[in-house]
């Protein structure tokens, strides 16, 4: 991202002075397809998102030695001093001083290991480091970094001013408090202010924990009640002789996985149809109802209708035969691709009571059920997690998971709140089929009690 956005611009300015009009024209045409500043910043944020979710230290990311990656891939994806500095700079501009400190410290470490830097020096890095640790309430460390900076550049105006300010603040602190009280206060402040800043997602830590495969709530006794079986959907004509393999993934809410549900040839055809149409995925604004991009959904998606190719029609028919639900009122097949850092934070598939117009334009009712087909394996990351019940389902190529979003009464099942974890290594392909209420009246009947 950085190479095509920043460094290409430098190359462009070099050749513009001494090249033919044809070359310049071609250069300009190609430039419009390259990443821009927003893309570069987004890539930096994605790396920090992976760092937090999978509890990776900066050195692991910088050397490219990620779980599931080969040694050759690690060498190709190693970060330079300038790359680490740029990551810290992105965090700084977002007032995220926790990540600013981490990445500036990594840049300084690599610089001290005599790694060559292109545009950044130790003085600049130390300037950011001292300010970021000061913002996190660590006066003594801020003073230490400032002194190191002044050893390299005694005339640095801002550092000289900061030196006096930090010394004054420390002296004031010592004067007001006794030594033991001050240490206790600093320790308490350090615990409260250091670390990642809180954000808009209250279940952030639970979500990230599940993505790492931790904190899953399934006792051995409950686990013993989950089974694998051959499923023919009450002796459906297509599956009496060749039933499908069904596995229980979770009990409450019931989530099942179907194995070997599509062939490699079918999946490749779906990808081939979707690739030319892939666009940044959008969400429906709950207030305005307008489709818009969001930082919490990072993927590309495309929609395929049953009429477009026999393979899409066959997959739709297979979903109907296996689930027993009518797919004529379902949405088109959505194909989604998640690259490294791609994710979809916790959300509901169904429209809640505070979103009465969520699917009104479709005229087919709410989303009664979700069918999620995995069309690739993922080397690391990329799980589907259910944050309310602490469940996790891992991608496996050729399998599909299925669950109901609504109770038989039509009320939403809030236990189905789920998320697509960030992809750490690899490339994740999935396709969704959202099945709606209309047409299911005699296929999934209401219960006799309103509370069913």
Quote the pLDDT of residue 23.
72
Check: pTM over 0.85? Answer yes or no. Answer: yes
Half-sphere exposure of 428 (CA within 13 A, CB side): 32
pLDDT in tens, 62-75: 998 888 877 666 66
Rounded to the nearest integer, the mean pLDDT of the chain is: 90
In a domain, 4, yes or no: no
Give the per-residue pLDDT at 448.
79
User: Is residue 281 domain-shared with residue 336, that is, in the same domain?
Assistant: yes
* Residues 73, 221 share a domain: no
Distance CA 264, CA 243 (A): 19
369: three-class secondary structure by DSSP: strand
How many Å apart are CA 381 and CA 47, to the nearest integer? 13
- pLDDT value for 192: 47
Query: Given this model, what pLDDT does residue 289 score?
Result: 66
Do 405 and 304 fall within a single domain?
yes
CA gap 262, 377 in Å, rounded: 14
Q: How many helices (H) and strands (E) does the chain have?
A: 16, 18
**Same-domain pairing of 337 and 378:** yes
Q: How many CB atoms lie within 10 A of CB 200?
A: 8
159: nearest Cα among 169, 141, 146, 168 = 146
> How much of the chain, in percent, has pLDDT values that exceed 70?
92
Mean pLDDT on 355-364: 85
Same domain, 241 and 370: yes
Residue 299 DSSP SS3: coil
Pair of tokens at residue 302 = 């495309």
Asked whether 5 and 32 are in contact (CB, 8 A), the reply is no
Which is nearest to 162 in space by CA: 122, 132, 192?
132
442 is a domain residue:
no
Range 151-161 average pLDDT: 95
pLDDT surpasses 80 at 306: yes
| 283 and 390 assigned to the same domain | yes
For the chain, state the CA radius of gyration.
Answer: 27
> Does pLDDT of 193 surpass 70?
no
Q: What is the CATH number of the domain that holds 127?
A: 1.25.40.10
pLDDT at 322 over 70: yes
> Are 86 and 164 found together in one domain?
yes
* CB-count burial class (<10 Å; 0-12, 13-18, 19+) for 435: buried
CA–CA distance, 257 with 42 (Å, rounded to integer): 33
Q: Name the residue range of residue 149's domain.
A: 36-193
Task: Check pLDDT > 50 for residue 95.
Answer: yes
133 & 164 share domain? yes
More confident of the two residues 8 and 107: 107
Q: Which two tokens stand for residue 10?
A: 């430098």
Do 91 and 56 reside in the same domain of the chain? yes
Q: What is the CATH number of the domain that holds 300?
A: 2.60.120.620
Asked if pLDDT for residue 329 goes beyond 50, the answer is yes
For residues 325-344, average pLDDT: 96
Return the pLDDT at 191: 44
pLDDT above 80 (res 286): no
- Same domain for 143 and 73: yes
Residues 6+ positions from 69 with CB-CB distance below 8 Å: 77, 379, 380, 425
Q: Please check whether residues 254 and 148 belong to one and the same domain.
A: no
Query: What is the pLDDT, as a whole number, of residue 228?
Result: 97
Angle between helix 122-135 and helix 97-112 axes, rounded to 10 deg: 150
What is the tens place of the pLDDT at every residue in 10-62?
Answer: 777 777 776 667 777 777 787 788 888 888 998 999 999 999 999 999 999 99
Token code pair at residue 191: 């615990």
- pLDDT band at residue 358, thresholds of 50, 70 and 90? confident
The pLDDT > 90 percentage for the chain reads 70
Residue 85 has pLDDT above 80, yes or no: yes
Number of domains into which the chain is organized: 2
Asked which of 183-187, 306-310, 362-366 is least confident by mean pLDDT, the reply is 183-187
Query: Residue 294 pLDDT > 90, yes or no?
Result: no
Give the pLDDT score at 183. Answer: 58
Which residues touch 260 (CB under 8 Å, ≥6 apart)? 244, 245, 398, 399
Tell me what pLDDT residue 287 has.
Answer: 65
Q: Are residues 229 and 175 in the same domain?
A: no
pLDDT tens sequence across 214-262: 999 899 999 999 999 999 999 999 999 999 999 999 999 999 999 999 9
Of 162, 193, 224, the residue at which a domain comes to its end is: 193
């Amino acid at each position: 991202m950085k190479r095509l956005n920043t460094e290409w611009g430098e190359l462009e300015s070099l050749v513009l002075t001494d090249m033919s009009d044809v070359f310049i024209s071609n250069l300009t045409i190609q430039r419009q397809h390259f990443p821009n500043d927003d893309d570069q910043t987004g890539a930096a944020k994605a790396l920090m998102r992976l760092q937090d979710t999978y509890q990776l230290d900066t050195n692991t990311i910088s050397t490219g030695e990620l779980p599931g990656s080969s040694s050759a891939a690690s060498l190709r994806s190693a970060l330079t001093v300038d790359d680490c500095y740029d990551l810290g700079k992105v965090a700084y501009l977002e007032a995220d001083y926790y990540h600013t400190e981490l990445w500036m410290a990594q840049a300084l470490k690599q610089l001290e290991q005599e790694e060559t830097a292109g545009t950044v020096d130790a003085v600049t890095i130390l300037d950011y480091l001292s300010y970021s640790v000061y913002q996190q309430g660590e006066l003594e460390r801020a003073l230490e970094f400032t002194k190191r900076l002044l050893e390299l550049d005694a005339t640095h105006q801002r550092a000289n001013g900061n030196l006096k300010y930090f010394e004054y603040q420390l002296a004031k602190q010592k004067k007001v408090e006794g030594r033991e009280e001050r240490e206790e206060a600093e320790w308490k402040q350090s615990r409260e202010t250091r670390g990642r800043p809180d954000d808009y997602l209250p279940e952030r830590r639970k979500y990230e924990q599940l993505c790492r495969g931790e904190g899953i709530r399934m006792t051995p006794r409950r686990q013993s009640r989950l089974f694998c079986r051959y499923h023919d959907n009450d002796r459906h004509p297509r599956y009496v002789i060749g039933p499908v393999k069904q596995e229980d993934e979770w009990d409450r809410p019931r989530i099942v996985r179907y194995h070997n549900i599509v062939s490699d040839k079918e999946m490749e055809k779906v990808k081939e149809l979707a690739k030319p149409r892939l666009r940044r995925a959008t969400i429906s604004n709950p207030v305005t109802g307008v489709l818009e991009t969001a930082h919490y959904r990072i993927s590309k998606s495309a929609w395929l209708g049953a009429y477009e190719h026999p393979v899409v029609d066959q997959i739709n028919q297979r979903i109907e035969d296996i689930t027993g639900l009518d797919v004529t009122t379902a949405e088109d097949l959505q194909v989604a691709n998640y690259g490294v850092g791609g994710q979809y934070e916790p959300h509901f598939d169904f429209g809640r009571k505070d979103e009465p117009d969520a699917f009104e334009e479709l005229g087919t009712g709410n989303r009664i059920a979700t069918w999620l087909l995995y069309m690739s394996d993922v080397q690391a990351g990329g799980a589907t997690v259910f944050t309310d019940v602490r469940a996790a389902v891992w991608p496996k190529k050729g399998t599909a998971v299925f669950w109901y979003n609504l109770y038989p009464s039509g009320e939403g099942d809030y236990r189905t709140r789920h998320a697509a974890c960030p992809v750490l290594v690899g490339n994740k392909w999935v396709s969704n089929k959202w099945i709606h209420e209309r047409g299911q009246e005699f296929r999934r009947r209401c219960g006799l009690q309103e509370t069913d």
